[in-house]
Structures are given as C-alpha cells and as structure tokens.
C-alpha cells in the first residue's frame, strides 16, 4: 500500500515536485517487482501517465482517494483517539503487507495514520 498526499494543481496546471516524482517512480518499481499496489491518496489525481502505461488496467494497481489531508497537510496531524481508531480500522479492513508513506512538509502530516 502507498499512502500519499499531493496538492499540485495551481491555476489549472499540474506542477509535480520531487515528492510526487519519487512517489510515481516508487510505484513503478513496486509494480515491476510484481507487487500489488493500492494507492490511498489525498489531494489531486497525478496518475494519468502511470495508468496509461498499464493499460488495460491491472488488478495489481488500484487507487482510493481518501482525502485525509488538505492542501495545508492538516487533518491527520492531530493525534485524537477517535481519528486514530478510524485510521486503524481502515488499515485493518485492507490488511496491507507493507505501507510506503510519502510525506511532505515536516513529516508529521500522516501522524494519526502511521
């Protein structure tokens, strides 16, 4: 599972930075290694090139827009018991073998999730 946030649309243009490029390359590498990848993301859709390269769509690559983080990377930072329980239940339902978290900012944005 890949957990990421990217708010990259500015004036109608998609401006990918280093974190987004790292994320896309990591997903490509996981797929090339034969992994099943479920991307849970907040923010903007940046996966057109990735999905076009894997047509027809592979069941090993799935996406879910969770929108846990807003454009200011808030939403998951506060470690409230109810929020942690909801994130724990979400992960428990999906049962990932491993989670790759691509964080921006100071690194605590996905605090409740991880």
| Domain locations along the chain | 2-102
Quote the CA–CA distance of 23 and 5 in Å, as a whole number: 10
Task: List pLDDT tens digits, range 4-36.
Answer: 888 777 777 777 888 888 999 999 999 989 899
**Average pLDDT over all residues of the chain:** 84
Residue 107 predicted with pLDDT over 70 = no
Task: List pLDDT tens digits, range 57-69.
Answer: 667 899 999 988 8
Give the per-residue pLDDT at 55: 65
Residue 91 predicted with pLDDT over 90 = yes
Give the per-residue pLDDT at 57: 62
Quote the CA–CA distance of 1 and 22 in Å, as a whole number: 15
């Amino acid at each position: 599972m890949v957990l990421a946030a990217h708010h990259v649309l500015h004036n109608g243009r998609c401006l990918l930075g280093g974190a987004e490029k790292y994320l896309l390359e990591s997903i490509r590498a996981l797929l090339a290694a034969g992994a099943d990848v479920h991307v849970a993301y907040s923010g903007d859709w940046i996966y057109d090139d990735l999905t076009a390269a894997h047509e027809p769509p592979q069941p090993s690559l799935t996406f879910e827009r969770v929108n846990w983080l807003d454009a200011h990377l808030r939403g998951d930072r506060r470690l409230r018991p109810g929020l942690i329980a909801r994130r724990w239940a979400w992960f428990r339902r999906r049962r990932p073998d491993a989670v790759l978290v691509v964080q921006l900012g100071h690194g605590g944005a996905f605090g409740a999730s991880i």
